[in-house]
Structure 1
Amino acid sequence: MSQPIAVDGPRILVALDFPDAQAALALVEQLDPARCRLKVGKELFVAAGPVFVRQLIDQGYDVFLDLKFHDIPNTVASACRAAAELGVWMVNVHALGGSKMMRAAREALAEFPNRPLLIAVTVLTSHDAESLAEIGLQEAPAAAVARLARLVDASGLDGVVCSAREAALLREQRGPDFKLVCPGIRPSGAVQDDQSRITTPADAIDLGVDYMVIGRPITRATDPLAALAKIEKEIGKRGKA
């Protein structure tokens, strides 16, 4: 068991996996920016755009812009700069873009006095060994994550998106300051949905996770704030900074 890591602000990032701003805002109005952060992904960003992201920020929320930039270095650097200008709290790229691309992203953000955290996707939590082999990666998921996380760290980024199942290994290898952001988190008794590699919130904290992305257990709950409170209770004292 890893020693729980102290972090500033809420550990729970609510995934706004909605098709439009109206549906997302209906959920957001039931939450509390003092108790959670928000993740905006591709579907919602394409539908609602930067104006919607600014609206969330204006309501007091820290926003993780989860667009997984993966392109030539100059294009990714420009995209990260635009995200920083929006005022997002965290932005990500894909580690498979390589070190030159990741360094360009890091350098683009260095000019901002209060720059967003910059992290990289390693292996999607929907992947297992069979699906990795299908795309030409013969390693087991944990080995691929460790290799890519080493590249991310060497490129000067703040951390990675990974499965909580690899968190203890990455915490040991990369140290206490390397941020671990983990989707695939499900409260005890929740359905697995489309995540192949999952763990519970309490276990995630014990494994050294900094931030956990949780969507449907909160967003599809009859009372989202009560669902959030239940997860906070499950985390207990281990989740407090």
Structure 2
Amino acid sequence: MTARDRIWFALDTPTADEARHWARRLRGEVGGLKVGLELFVAAGPGLVQDLVADGWPVFLDLKFHDIPNTMAGAARAAGRLGVRLVNVHALAGRAGMARAAEAAREGAREAGVPAPRVLAVTVLTSHGPDDLEAVGLEGPPEEAVLRLAGLARLAGCDGVVASAREAPAIRASWSEAVIVTPGIRPAGARRGDQARVTTPAGAMAAGADHIVVGRPIREAADPVAAARALVAEVAEALGRGA
């Protein structure tokens, strides 16, 4: 896996046309595209299928969190789309995660496409200790992340979405986990609404496999140059070429 392969660009756009613009502009510059709630609600699964057909690895970031039967149905539909990554919310519980992971693989088999990696979202990188306490989760975010990651492993997930701050502890207890880290901000960049952030190099050093980057590329004066700088930083951190 190259340094470029490790970078997923967040297609956080309100329309399919804008998403396609970014896909064209960043062709060959990033490893994959993340489709989240805003774009999926606006454009639907058709856009996801178009991106996959165009050769893009897609991370379907919808964070399924519902009763197990509903999560399974949604995950099965996601598996049929040919996406590379799909996620569920660990707070849905072990049963929901297990049903979703199994169903995503079933859906892929039915469609004759490779099965996606199923990841569990632990604690959102926009949440700090006060946010967790407000919803009844006591203790630091790190404790909640490790508890939820352990539950995801028991449920048969392939890995987690977590901040780089927790990645070393997750890796120590779950060596084969796929760890995807959002909340990435190059040195000097604005945090925005993120509470637990890290640099691309910091994420790699912490043991993340992939990073998700949106605004630092999208809002840059030269988005292509910003993407290339991120690839170079990741490559340097890994001690290998782009």
Instruction: Give the TM-score of the pair, scaled to structure 1.
Output: 0.92
The match for 1:13 among 8, 23, 33 is 8
CA contact (8 A) 1:78 1:108 kept: yes
Write out aligned runs for 1:161-240 (5 A). Answer: 161-175=161-175, 177-239=176-238, 240=240
Distance 2:217 2:137 in 1: 33
CA contact (8 A) 1:10 1:34 kept: no
Instruction: Give the TM-score of the pair, scaled to structure 2.
Output: 0.92
Distance 2:222 2:4 in 1: 22
Q: Between the two proteins, what is the percent identity of the paired residues?
A: 49
Measure how far apart 1:236 and its partner are: 2.5
In structure 1, the partner of 2:135 is: 135
Superposed CA RMSD = 1.7
Task: Please list every run of 5 or more consecutive structure 2 residues that lacks an aligned counterpart in the other structure.
Answer: none
Query: Which has the higher relative contact order, 1 or 2, with Cα contacts under 8 A spaced 6 or more apart?
Result: 1
Distance 1:211 1:50 in 2: 23
CA contact (8 A) 2:9 2:30 kept: no
In structure 2, the partner of 1:3 is: none
Distance 2:101 2:183 in 1: 26
Measure how far apart 1:96 and its partner are: 0.7
**Amino acid of the structure 2 residue aligned with 1:120:** A
In structure 2, the partner of 1:87 is: 82
Distance 1:161 1:102 in 2: 14
**Amino acid of the structure 1 residue aligned with 2:100:** A
Measure how far apart 1:35 and its partner are: 3.3
Which moves more between the two structures, 114-123 or 24-33?
Answer: 24-33
Write out aligned runs for 1:99-114 (5 A). Answer: 99-111=94-106, 112-113=108-109, 114=114
Which moves more between the two structures, 109-118 or 45-54?
Answer: 109-118
CA contact (8 A) 1:11 1:211 kept: yes
Change (3 A) 1:9 1:227: closer
Measure how far apart 1:237 and its partner are: 3.7
In structure 2, the partner of 1:54 is: 49
Aligned length in residues: 235
Task: Please list every run of 5 or more consecutive structure 1 residues that lacks an aligned counterpart in the other structure.
Answer: 1-5
